[in-house]
Copies of this chain bind each other. A is one copy, B any other.
Amino acid sequence: TKFAYVKNFELPDPLLPGTYILLRLDGHGFHRLSQDHDFVKPNDERALQLMDHAARDIMHEFKDVVLAFGESDEYSFLFRKSTTLYNRREAKILTTVTSLFTSSYVLNWPRYFPNSSLKYCPSFDGRIVLYPSEKEVRDYFAWRQADTHINNLYNTTFWALVQQGGQTTTEAHATLRGTVSKEKHELLFSRFGVNYNTIPERYRKGSVLVREEVAGHEPSGTAESAPAEDKCATSGSGAEASEVRVEHTQGTKKSKKPKVQTHIQLYHCDVIEQAFWGARPYLLE
């Protein structure tokens, strides 16, 4: 038709080749949503598991996502550097991932919140960031995990003061103003008998979803934390169970690579130290 010229206003938006595509989603207004749906404070296991579930669905659908990290109302996805998904068209990648995550979150909500139906529509914003080298990718995940730690330590102490210590939220904020990490640990222990390190790893470390090549990979992580992670990773609900699948690790048709068995494994392990990455060189190729 004579109107079809308007299609020409759609401009190309290819992402630079040779870079790592990082896509981060974040819940829109989840401060309110978490209140309106009575999320446990400071961490609601159900809410976090639902996030993990949706992230897992992303990794099942988009085979070039090799690693994901979740905390609070956000999730980050790392695509392999060589991905040619949608010819690396930015909007296409960004919207299909954001949409599918949202869809899974809403569809699976009743599974995690059987007694509390959604009062309105949850939604997420999304963005893509390009990282040129391995260093930046590792630092990205370290950044998110450090953020998890800082927030969780603060929130844990804060809500202990409020819920167990009887402080108002204003008082609790005042109590914590200016305190450093060590002081929060001590406060938790001395006043509430809580050893921070015994808090579930999920809350302290966030969720790490890895597309793992099978053939006997060790559970990763630093020596001391590995067992706990491993347990956590395999003892979860059905939703968390990892499945072993035979997959091409690369999407291109002409790839003659032998099929590598991969499965998606959930950890709550350290991603800041070298151990995690050293055990999985394929994540960064």
Contacts and interface: CB of A to CB of B under 8 A. Distances in A.
Interface stretch (A118-126, A226-234, A236-244, A250-258): A118-126
Contacts of A116: none
B99 A3 contact: no
Copies of this chain present in the complex amount to: 4
A12 interface: yes
Interface string A125-136: 111111111001
Q: How large is the interface on A (under 10, 10 to 19, 20 to 34, 35 or more residues)?
A: 35 or more
Nearest to A1: B146
B6 A16 contact: no
A9 to B, nearest CB: 5
Contact of A3 (B122, B126, B143): B143
B103 A123 contact: yes
Given A136-B9, A140-B3, A104 B121 contact: yes
B7 A143 contact: yes
B11 A125 contact: no
Interface in A40-91: 57, 91
Nearest to A97: B123
Nearest to A149: B1
A37 interface: no
A107 B121 contact: yes
A4 B132 CA distance: 16
Contact of A126 (B57, B99, B104, B105): B99
Interface string A195-225: 0000000000000000000000000000000
A151 interface: no
Given A57-B121, A125-B95, A12 B14 contact: yes
A30 to B, nearest CB: 12
Interface in A248-285: none
